[in-house]
Amino acid sequence: MKLEIKHLTKLYGDKIVLNNIDIGLENIQILALLGASGSGKSTLLRLIAGLEPYQQGEIIVNERSMSSGKLDAYRKSVGFVFQDHNLFAHLSILDNILLVLEKVHKRRREDVIETVMKLLERFGLIEHAHKLPHQISGGQSQRASIVRALAIKPELILLDEPTSSLDPVLTYEVLSAIKQLAEDKKDFVIVTHEIGFAKSVADYIIFMENGQIVEHGPKSMLDNPQSIELKMFLNKVLTFMPE
């Protein structure tokens, strides 16, 4: 993956959410975005996905510019996994996945059903294929979202805090599924609070605060943070000593 961000600024009304961000990365497979809630990391992920406009700057992903006017083709090459999985409640797990392939990518069901079923089997969901989302666990729903993202055979997968609403057991279940993506050499960007997972899987880390990149580098930087902001963040995330 190659990612170039130049003087990127994003506003919601009068509020600056991303403030003049600059970074250039090349030959990265797994990028983790870290930071406290409200730091701008999820917004940055949505901009990388081409889901929202921005007021200033440029984003270029694998030589594709977000301001090129050809976003439809780019969006179809990206798999996005949201925090709350975004499955249609009235459709089975199988139909949730097939819907994207049929309606967005104009694929015939008979041409893709075998691939989808193999993915469901691989991610431990084959026995739940015909269930509705409310009939399976949160972890299974999130794994179904990962299968939906993979089914389009994306160039890049983007995951926005995929374990944020899950208990520890389901979190482990989903992170194990995401680790399979790493083992398959899939390029992905993940927003996460799971520091141990980031240290285990990511090639590169970006730490954000107040809409800016405070520190970035290989995952080894988490063992030796240079900025006071990252040191404080890790102390809060990794330790808790009640008074």
Mean pLDDT, residues 201-220: 95
Whole-number pLDDT of residue 243: 47
> What is the layout of strands, in order, in the sheet containing 188-191?
78-81, 156-160, 188-191, 30-34, 204-209, 212-218
- The domains of the chain are located at 1-77+155-243, 87-154
User: pLDDT-derived band of residue 241, with 50, 70 and 90 as boundaries?
Assistant: very low
Whole-number pLDDT of residue 70: 75
Whether 240 has a pLDDT exceeding 70, the answer reads no
| CA–CA separation, 7 and 19 (whole Å) | 8
Q: What percent of the chain is predicted at pLDDT more than 70?
A: 96
Contact 76, 152 (CB under 8 A): yes
DSSP state of 188: E
* Reduced DSSP (H G I as helix, E B as strand, rest coil) percent helix, strand, coil of the chain, to 5: 40, 25, 35
Whether 32 has a pLDDT exceeding 70, the answer reads yes
Whether 101 has a pLDDT exceeding 70, the answer reads yes
Fold entry, domain 1-77+155-243: Rossmann fold (3.40.50)
Whole-number pLDDT of residue 242: 46
- Looking up tokens 């972890």, which residue turns up? 139
User: pLDDT-derived band of residue 149, with 50, 70 and 90 as boundaries?
Assistant: very high
- Residue 217, classed as helix, strand or coil, is strand
Whether 68 has a pLDDT exceeding 80, the answer reads no
Contact 162, 174 (CB under 8 A): yes
57-61, 77-81, 166-170, 232-236: lowest mean pLDDT where?
A: 166-170
User: pLDDT-derived band of residue 165, with 50, 70 and 90 as boundaries?
Assistant: confident
pLDDT in tens, 84-97: 778 999 999 999 99
Whole-number pLDDT of residue 136: 95
